[in-house]
Chain A
Amino acid sequence: MTEREIAAGGTQAGLEPSPAALGDEHGKVEGRTQREIIWRRFKRHKLAMVGGVVLLLLFLAALAAPALAPYEYDEIDYTAINQGPNASHPMGADNLGRDELTRVLYGGRVSLLVGLSVGVFSTLLGAVVGIVAGYYGRFVDVGAMGFVDFMLTLPFLPVLLVLGKIYQFTAITIAAAVALLVWMPIARLVRGQVLSVRNQEYVQAAHAIGVSGPRTMLRHIFPNVVGVMVVQATLITGEAILIESALSFLGLGIQPPTPSWGNMLEDARTTMTTQWWLTYFPGLMIVVTVLCVNFLGDGLRDALDPKAVE
C-alpha cells in the first residue's frame, strides 16, 4: 500500500507551518506541559486565532438567532418586497419581502450544524476503522482498506444528489449522508499513524504485561492519532459546509421555507441581475465561515503536528 501513502503524503498542500509558527525562542528552559506548548504554538498563528474568534461569534449568533433576528424567517411583508439594504432591512429583503438578515442568521444554524456534525461523526468513523485496521492488520486490514478503496470510487456528489432525491433531506440526514461518504481519507491517515506506532516498544510492553487489545488501542494508540483527528475534523467541517450549500443550491438539500445559505442562493438566481444583495450576502457568509474554519484547521495543524519545529 506504499504507493498510496507516497501520493497521500503530499496532499497536505501548502499547509506547512507558517514562518510565525516556526520562529522558535532559544534559551528558555522553563518546564512546559504539552498543553502549554501546543497553546503557545497555536497563539502564534494570528489568522487561526482570528478565525477561531469569528467562528465562535458566528456560532453564538446562530444559536441565538431566534433572539437576535429582527423578524421571523418566514415572515412575509408585502411592503418590503425586493427592497435593497436599508435601516429596517440591513441586508435587504427577498422577492417575498422576507428579511435577508434574519434568513442569513437562520441559514447559519443549518450550515454550522451540518458542518460540525459531519466533522465529528466522519472523523470518529474514520478513526475507528483506521485504528482497528492498523492495529489488527492481516485480513482485517485488507478488508477494511479494500472497503475504503471501494468507497473512494463512488463519486460522492452525484451519490448525494440521488440520496437527496430518495429522501427529503433535513440538516441531520444531510450530515449523516455526508459523513458516511467522506470518512475514508481519515481512516487511511489514522491507519498510517497506527502502523507507525504499533511496533514501538511501549505498545509491545503493554501487550507483554497482558493489556487487552481494545484497551491498548484506546489508551496507548488513540492518543497518538488525536492530533491528526482534530485537524482533519476541522478541515472536513469546512468541506461539509460547502457540500451542504451545493446540495441545497441544486434543490436537493434543505427544502424551503427553511433557509439555508445554499437554497437562498438558488432563490436569488432568478433576480440576480437586479437584487444583487440576495446573491452577495449568503455567498459571503459561506466564504467567511469556511475560510475561518480552514484558518483554524491550519493553526491546529501547526500546533498539533509533532514534526513541527519547536
Chain B
Amino acid sequence: MISYVIRKVLFSLVVLVFASIFIFGLVSLAGDPLVELKQNPRIRAEDIQRISAIYGLDRSYPEQYLFWIKGVLQGDLGTSFKQNAPVNEIIGQRIFPTVLLMGTSILITMIFAIPFGIYSAIRKYSWLDNLGTFFAFLGFSMPIFWLALILQLVFGVYLTEWAGTRVFYTSGISDTNSGGGLVDLIKHLTLPALSLAIIQSAVYSRFQRSAMLDVLSSDYLRTARAKGLSRRTVYLKHALRNALIPTVTLLALYMGTILGGAIITETVFAWPGLGFLFADALFKGDFNVARGILLLIAVLVVFFNLVADLVYAFVDPRISYD
C-alpha cells in the first residue's frame, strides 16, 4: 500500500517535470516577446540587448528554462513581458473570478444533473428520461461559444428590449454605474455560469444515469430488496451513495477540461478570469503569463488525478496495488 502511494506520487512528479519542459518549450516557440520593441525604429539596438539581458532572453533555451523553473520552485512565476508586474500578482487577481464562475456552474450542474440522472435511471425510458437523452445529445453537440452567443442574444438583448431595462449583463464582472454589490454580481455571473452549466449538465446527467443503472443492476441491491427493504430506502440509502462515487471522480479528473473550457466562456463574456487572461496574454505575447497559467492548470490536473487514484485505492478494496 505504502509503495503504491510512493509510486503514484513519484510518477506525478515526473509527469510535472516533463509537463513544465513541454510548456516552457511550446510557449517559447509562440513568438518573440520583444518583437514590438525590435520593430520600433526609435529604440536602439543596445537598449533591446539590455532588455533581453534583464529577462534572460539572450541566453539559450535550456538556460532560460532552468532560470524559469528555479523561480517556479521558489513560488515565483517570473515577470510579465508587457505589464512590468510579477506574474504571480497578475494571475493572483484572476483566480477568484475563475473560481467563482467555475464553482457556480458546477454547483448548478450538480443540483440539476445528479437528481435528474438518478430519476432517469429509476424511470428508465420514461418520457422525461427520453427528453433528457435528447437534450444531452444536443448538449454534447453544441459548441459552448455558440450557446453563449445565443444566451447573450436572448437574455442580454431580447429580454432587455422586452423588459425595457437590463436584467442580465453580457460582459464583465461588475458595472461601475450600479455601484457593485451582490445583485450586480449575480446579473453578470448568471449568463456565463449558465452557459457552462448547460453543457456540463448534458455530460453529468447522463453519466449519473449510467452510474445509477450500474448500481441498480448489482447483486447487493437485489439482496437489499429481497430482504424486504422499501424501494425508497434501497434507492436513497444503498444505491445513491455508491452511484455518486463515479460522478465525483469524473468531476475531479475533468478539472483540466473544465478549466480549458473556461477560456472560451470567459472570452465570450469578457469575464476577468484565468481563461480570458490566458487568451489575452497569448495574443499580446505576454508569454510568462501564459506559461504560468498553463503550469497552474497542469499542476491542478496532476494533483486531482493523484487524489482520485489514492482515494480510490483507499475506499475500493477491489483495487490491487501492484
Give chain A's interface residues, CB within 8 Å of chain B.
Answer: 2-4, 6-7, 10-16, 19, 146, 149-150, 152-159, 161-163, 165-166, 238, 242, 245-246, 249-252, 262, 265, 268-269, 272-273, 276, 279, 283, 286-287, 290-291, 293-295, 298
Contacts and interface: CB of A to CB of B under 8 A. Distances in A.
Contact of A162 (B11, B30, B150, B206): B30
Contacts of A15: 206, 210
A268 B206 CA distance: 33
14 contacts: A2-B318, A7-B312, A10-B214, A11-B207, A13-B203, A14-B206, A14-B210, A152-B305, A155-B256, A155-B297, A246-B144, A286-B142, A286-B146, A287-B143
B115 interface: no
B209 to A, nearest CB: 6
A269 to B, nearest CB: 7
A161 B262 CA distance: 13
Top 7 A-B pairs ranked by shortest CB distance?
A14-B206, A13-B206, A157-B260, A290-B141, A283-B146, A13-B207, A291-B141
Nearest to B279: A250
Interface stretch (B59-67, B100-108, B130-138, B189-197): B130-138
A251 B145 CA distance: 13
Between B140, B208, B211, the greatest number of chain A beta carbons within 10 A of the residue's beta carbon is seen for B140
Contacts, number: 169
B226 interface: no
Contacts of A250: 263-264, 267, 279
A86 B140 CA distance: 32
Given A158-B263, A162-B27, A3 B312 contact: yes
Given A2-B320, A155-B298, A294 B15 contact: no
Q: Which DSSP category, helix, strand, loop or mixed, fits chain B's interface?
A: helix
Contact of A156 (B145, B152, B260): B260
Given A10-B246, A161-B279, A154 B145 contact: no
B319 A7 contact: no
Interface string B106-143: 00000000000000000001000000010011101111
How many interface residues does chain B have, given as a range? 35 or more
A158 B293 contact: yes
Nearest to B213: A16
Contact of B308 (A7, A162, A273, A294): A7
| Chain A contact residues, majority secondary structure | helix
B36 interface: no
B313 A3 contact: yes
A279 B149 contact: yes
B22 interface: yes
Interface string B141-180: 1111110011011000100000000000000000000000
Most B CB contacts (10 A, CB to CB) among A11, A14, A16 go to A14
Given A3-B316, A162-B27, A283-B146, 17 more contacts: A4-B309, A6-B319, A7-B249, A7-B312, A13-B203, A146-B11, A153-B301, A154-B298, A155-B257, A155-B297, A155-B298, A158-B260, A246-B143, A250-B263, A251-B283, A272-B149, A279-B150
